[in-house]
Structure 1
């Protein structure tokens, strides 16, 4: 298996987790989420980092050529 594709898959999964955590903490409205107190402004940080990880992982998977 190609190392770039594996790293892309890991980045994609981490991005999905970040997007879900950011969206959940944004929707919770300032309550504690996973032991962290987040308001709506700080909930955008994991969401944006998750988006960056997600799209970079998808890009790595998509643009890495197969070698046999």
Structure 2
């Protein structure tokens, strides 16, 4: 397995975990400023990691 493809899969999993954590924080927030900041930070990082991982897996060719 290619290292780039493995790194892409890792980024995808981290992004997915970040998005799930964002959903968890969203459901348990009271609406304070700190909660909103963490929602934005974890959500953006989750989306960036997820998109980067999917793009890396999709564009890396298998060389066997």
Where structure 2 has 5 or more consecutive residues not aligned to the other structure, the ranges are none
Shift of 1:29: 1.6
SS of alignment partner, residue 46 of structure 1: helix
Q: TM-score, normalised by structure 1?
A: 0.81
Q: TM-score, normalised by structure 2?
A: 0.86
Query: Which structure is higher in helix share?
Result: 2
Match for residue 9 of structure 1? 9
Runs of 4+ in 1 over 4 A off after TM superposition: none
Shift of 1:6: 0.1
Query: Which structure is higher in strand share?
Result: 1
**Counterpart contact for 1:9–1:58, Cα < 8 Å:** yes
Moved more, 39-48 or 57-66: 39-48
Query: How large is the RMSD of aligned CA atoms in angstroms?
Result: 1.6
Distance in 2 between residues matched to 1:30 and 1:22, nearest whole Å:
14
Where structure 1 has 5 or more consecutive residues not aligned to the other structure, the ranges are 32-37
